[in-house]
């Protein structure tokens, strides 16, 4: 009778474990997990390396070195091509950098060539002056298209960044002292950078 009771108790315990999923999972994990910690990927790789002979390890090292040499040669060739291309572009820019400026000014030359014969035969000076004025304005417009602008000096305060004082005018009213009285030679900027200072007379 006692043996039957023990068998029944054991069967009851097994049924409880099966009924409880967490307990069943723990039981299965305990049964399937080997003793000790599972080896990581690095440890497995290290073990694999240890299994290789010195000759095999040397061959692997040589293969890796050859691959790195190939990559280095490729990068060197790529940089050399880039350097040559950059040098060529710079040389082309130096040789042909003024091309756009010349193209913009050629129509002005054409106008002057057409105007010169007419000027020699013209009797009306006013008409000649009007023609020259039109060519002059066209020339200024072409310069503006290239980023060239005249420096404004009329009634402006003297500015060492824009003006070059070549004369001083004494005895001017107080409101004109330190101001530009006259512009002897106009100055110009290229893309807002001074390429020639305006030569001016300054009131003192």
Domain 150-204 has what CATH class? mainly beta
More confident residue, 108 or 18: 108
Per-residue pLDDT at 187: 95
Confidence at residue 47, expressed as pLDDT on a 0 to 100 scale: 57
Question: What average pLDDT score do residues 147-153 get?
Answer: 92
Model-level pTM? 0.54
The pair of three-digit structure tokens given for residue 55, joined into one six-digit string: 């000759």
| Dist CA 100 CA 106 (whole Å) | 10
CA dist., res. 116 & res. 153, Å (int): 32
């Amino acid at each position: 009778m006692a043996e039957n009771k023990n068998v029944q108790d054991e069967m009851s315990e097994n049924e409880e474990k099966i009924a409880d999923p967490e307990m069943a999972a723990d039981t299965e994990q305990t049964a399937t997990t080997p003793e000790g910690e599972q080896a990581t990927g690095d440890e497995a790789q290290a073990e694999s390396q240890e299994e290789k002979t010195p000759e095999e390890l040397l061959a692997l090292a040589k293969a890796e070195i050859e691959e790195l040499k190939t990559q280095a040669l490729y990068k060197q060739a790529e940089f050399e091509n880039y350097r040559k291309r950059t040098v060529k572009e710079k040389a082309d820019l130096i040789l042909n950098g003024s091309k756009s400026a010349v193209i913009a000014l050629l129509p002005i030359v054409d106008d002057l060539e057409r105007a010169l014969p007419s000027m020699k035969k013209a009797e009306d000076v006013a008409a000649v002056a009007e023609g020259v004025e039109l060519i002059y304005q066209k020339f200024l417009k072409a310069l503006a298209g290239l980023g060239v602008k005249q420096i404004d000096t009329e009634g402006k305060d003297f500015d060492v960044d824009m003006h070059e004082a070549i004369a001083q005018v004494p005895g001017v009213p107080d409101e004109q002292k330190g101001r530009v009285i006259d512009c002897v030679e106009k100055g110009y900027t290229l893309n807002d950078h001074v390429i020639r200072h305006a030569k001016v007379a300054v009131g003192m």
